[in-house]
Structure 1
Amino acid sequence: MEECICQSCGMAMAALEHFGTNRDRSLNKDYCSYCYQNGEFTEESTSYSYLKPVNQVIDYIQTNLQEKVELTDLANIAHISHFHFHRIFKSVMNETVGEYIQRIRLERAAFKLQTTNLTLVQIAEQVGYQTQFALSKAFKKYFGIPPTSYRSMPTDLTTPVKRRECGISDIPCDIRKLDPFEVVYTQVISPYQYADAFTQAWDKLLGYVKKEGIPDENTGYFSFCRDVPSIISSPELQRFYVCISNSDHLKSTGSFGVQTIEGGVYAVFTVCGSYKQLPDAYTYIYRYWLFNSEYQIGDSMVFEKYLNSPDEVEEEKLITEVYIPVIKK
């Protein structure tokens, strides 16, 4: 029997009893029996009780990367014993907490090297290394070359292109100042392995929030990635999330987390048409627009907002806003 992966929690389903059930009691091969029963998602999922504390720890790491992160503090945030915390984090993330922190720090440093004019001292401070020498040593061990060589290396982030080479025509852009706002999110499981991974994640998220009386006409629909572009982060390590604005102040539970999208200045690009255009849109933004504007990318999270959905309009009428944090050069 071919092993399937639950699109809710990521658990392997190797036997029939592992599969969830539909309303007619037939087996559902997309979700496991813990996440999906009788055609509805359960309140908690797998590693269930474990997903919530791991989400809380990841949120903490992301917002405190420049600080010294103590493993005992993370275990306390998760309300799990130090010993079990390490085991649980590894089972959910497929990385130890130490490996995860180091990877995120070094990948963020790599992104800053190629998209900003910050000095190595400034970058080291922003990603949590005490000195530029400590960063340089760790960076060379991880990427195989020193930071200075990496900064000058031609990549999709450092090599500008002409507009006609972007694969997409001119994209409307305006600069907006945003206040911080809160979203409820769930992770997209195995986005590179399953073509409908994002659809499955949206179904799960909307099924959960509808139980709480939302969404409504004021609800915003978003997605974000905690990692940096695939030219730096390996695809299998990139983690994508779909989310909606948290107007009812829902709390973290099971595989559903709560994240604050940072306020600040964003360049907002309005992409009209199929989602298949988005890779070309990012090429336009990173390799054409940024090189020809008065801005460079800022330190907040890049995210997307969906103004309509494939259930409402034809593919060519879809509207997506891409939010890029920016600061003046």
Structure 2
Amino acid sequence: MEYTICQSCGMPLHQLNEFGTDKKGIRVKDYCQYCFKDGQFTSDSTMDEMVELCAKYMTDISQNEAVTHLRQKLPTLKRWAQKENTQKEYHKSINKVLDYINEHLNEKPDLATLSQIANVSPFHFHRIFKAIIGENLGEYVQRLRLEYVAGKLKTTDLSLNILAEKTGYNSEQALSKAFKKHFGTPPSMYKLASTETRDYSQNQLSPQICEIAPKNIIYIRVIAPYGTKEVYDKAWSELNHFAADNDLLQKPNEWLGISLDDPNTTQTNKCRFYACLTIDKPIGPIGKIGCKNIKGGLYAIFTHMGSYSGLNEYYKNIWFGWLPSSDYRLRQATFFEKYVSDPDKVKAEDTVTEIYIPVSLK
């Protein structure tokens, strides 16, 4: 038998009794007895958990050095390379499906179509979708439709009949019933209760109105309460490392954020955010890294000075102060933020954020 290292934990294997066994009890060459026994892994641990466990036994170097070494080593081993490649394909597939759903909220999700977009069998699609998103497909689409309606009730005078057409409901009555079940109140009462009563007339905004060119972006999706530091820091770090490893970091790069939900409507732990970086030319999606195009066109560009925690109130000023009294209306395109200053290098009160709102003349 060829002696090697365990393709799960990286432990050197020098003697026959150190090797794991298959279902018949025969020694296998790829894994140690601690990781693989009777034809299966002894624990369903993640790679991060394996790193932490193995680092404890590497007493000849510091814990930090051990963790760094293992984080470099384990991804090259058979167990984790296979799992990582599979996970990358799943994330890439679900990103494509999410983009499709966002653009087709007025259509009923067809399992055959979505599984074809994902390039995954219908049998496995539901399981993969729920594992990554945390909701099953039907719940997810229903929630997005109803939250879209709630947003329009707050900021427009669109009738319920028109909103039913835009979100794929057969009638105004069907939408009203689903809306009441989800939010606990009928659409008419929701609109009345959510009408912004604060006077924003004293906080007049003066945005720049500009035509901007289309932007190619790469992104990492985050589903968590907006601004959750640990989760957001990880996403930005992964995006930065991917860009650096693929020679995509250049001076014209812009760091953007796309917030897809209103935290006043969506449950905070389900708020979707895309951490984005502009790139010169479009590339294909790779694992968690998605790619899309932000269409060009007319935008109202607002400049916010101060902590990100003040953005929610600033957006209310835009919706309920500036927009109703302006000569513009919202158009169907991507809303996004551009982070002008590095929050790690400036004080919170000196942070500059540009807010891009797609508009057209009334």
TM-score class, shorter: 0.7 to 0.9
Query: Equivalent of 1:279, from 312, 316, 320?
Result: 312
Query: Equivalent of 1:134, from 171, 174, 192?
Result: 174
Summarize the Cα distance change of 1:142–1:316 in structure 2 as closer, same or farther, 3 Å threshold. closer
CA contact (8 A) 1:172 1:270 kept: no
1:210 maps to 2:244 = yes
1:239 maps to 2:272 = yes
* Aligned residue identity for 1:239: R
The 5 Å alignment of 1:105-254 reads 105-155=145-195, 158-162=196-200, 171-188=205-222, 190-191=224-225, 194-227=228-261, 229-254=262-287
Give the Cα separation in 2 of the matches to 1:213 and 1:126: 41
CA contact (8 A) 1:171 1:270 kept: no
Corresponding residue for 1:24?
65
Structure with greater helix percent:
2
Give the Cα separation in 1 of the matches to 2:236 and 2:76: 15
Superposition deviation, residue 260 in structure 1 = 2.4
Query: Equivalent of 2:292, from 259, 268, 274?
Result: 259
Corresponding pairs, count = 306
Corresponding residue for 2:14?
none
* Aligned residue identity for 1:70: D
Superposition deviation, residue 171 in structure 1 = 4.7
3-state SS of the aligned residue for 2:191?
Answer: helix
Summarize the Cα distance change of 1:43–1:91 in structure 2 as closer, same or farther, 3 Å threshold. closer
Q: Which runs of 5+ in 1 are unaligned?
A: 1-10
Give the Cα separation in 2 of the matches to 1:152 and 1:186: 36
Corresponding residue for 1:67?
107
Q: Which runs of 5+ in 2 are unaligned?
A: 1-43, 56-62
3-state SS of the aligned residue for 2:66?
Answer: coil
Corresponding residue for 2:334?
301
**Percent identical across equivalent pairs?**
36
3-state SS of the aligned residue for 1:48?
Answer: helix
Give the Cα separation in 2 of the matches to 1:126 and 1:118: 10
3-state SS of the aligned residue for 1:196?
Answer: helix
RMSD, matched Cα: 3.4
Superposition deviation, residue 314 in structure 1 = 4.9
Corresponding residue for 2:23?
none
* Aligned residue identity for 2:247: G
Give the Cα separation in 2 of the matches to 1:86 and 1:299: 29
* Aligned residue identity for 1:268: I
Give the Cα separation in 2 of the matches to 1:221 and 1:289: 26
1:47 maps to 2:87 = yes
Superposition deviation, residue 258 in structure 1 = 1.0
CA contact (8 A) 2:93 2:117 kept: yes
Superposition deviation, residue 71 in structure 1 = 1.6
Superposition deviation, residue 46 in structure 1 = 7.1
Superposition deviation, residue 45 in structure 1 = 7.0
Give the Cα separation in 2 of the matches to 1:90 and 1:32: 30
Superposition deviation, residue 309 in structure 1 = 1.4
3-state SS of the aligned residue for 2:229?
Answer: coil
Superposition deviation, residue 58 in structure 1 = 0.1
CA contact (8 A) 2:336 2:355 kept: yes
- Higher Cα Rg, which structure: 2
The 5 Å alignment of 1:85-104 reads 85-104=125-144
CA contact (8 A) 2:205 2:322 kept: no
3-state SS of the aligned residue for 1:111?
Answer: helix
Between the two structures, name the one with larger relative contact order (CA 8 Å, sep ≥ 6): 1
